[in-house]
Chain A
Amino acid sequence: DAKTTQPPSMDCAEGRAANLPCNHSTISGNEYVYWYRQIHSQGPQYIIHGLKNNETNEMASLIITEDRKSSTLILPHATLRDTAVYYCIVRWGSSNTGKLIFGQGTTLQVKP
């Protein structure tokens, strides 16, 4: 699975959009980009995923560059409850033997 690079930490004002970047320059054609987040003292939770098109769900939007070497997770109106560690992962969508490797993630601090 391709390796990802994320900034270790970011701050965001409450009510503003939080834009979390991820670099995955070695991604291959069949690999999906997944985002998870981990709120303190809980297990990570799935947020969103995508292959090459931009995606949106009730939690967030995912923007993937045309060359697929990077992506951005957007929380459109961040709240204090969005304070968490955010992980970007790249993996084969259909592989049943692929490991799920997490990096160190980005710690997002949403401030009042």
Chain B
Amino acid sequence: DVKVTQSSRYLVKRTGEKVFLECVQDMDHENMFWYRQDPGLGLRLIYFSYDVKMKEKGDIPEGYSVSREKKERFSLILESASTNQTSMYLCASRSVRQRYGRTEAFFGQGTRLTVV
């Protein structure tokens, strides 16, 4: 089974702290994604990496950066955490090697980040 693991399930950080959210996948997937999810707003894409060292901004990249030095790991960085970054963060990975068009994304369990 594909496993996408996020380093923390719950995290509390102070305003102004630098925060690292880590995501690791074990299926040699090329694509990795970071989303945040807020009530009433659905899943919004923050950043996307289509391969190692490749990244692309999603819909809401402001206040975030990412790092993909190794294929299995995709890190989301909050340079200076703010209270409006309190949210559920979800990581996903996806293979581009399709079988009958099937290239679904696999998600981690999420990290609920609270910035106080």
Contacts and interface: CB of A to CB of B under 8 A. Distances in A.
Interface of A: 32, 34, 36, 38, 41-46, 49, 51, 85, 87, 93-97, 99-105
Given A43-B92, A95-B96, A96-B30, A49 B41 contact: no
A50 B106 CA distance: 18
B84 interface: no
Nearest to B102: A49
Given A41-B110, A43-B107, A99-B45, 17 more contacts: A34-B104, A36-B104, A36-B105, A38-B43, A43-B4, A43-B90, A43-B109, A46-B104, A95-B96, A96-B30, A96-B31, A96-B51, A97-B50, A97-B56, A99-B48, A100-B92, A102-B44
Nearest to A47: B104
Contact of A93 (B92, B101, B109): B101
Given A43-B110, A95-B96, A96-B51, A101 B59 contact: yes
A96 B50 contact: yes
Contact of B42 (A49, A100, A104): A104
B31 to A, nearest CB: 7
A93 B43 contact: no
6 closest pairs, A vs B, by CB? A43-B107, A46-B104, A104-B42, A96-B96, A102-B43, A93-B101
A32 B101 contact: yes
A46 B101 contact: no
A24 B86 CA distance: 32
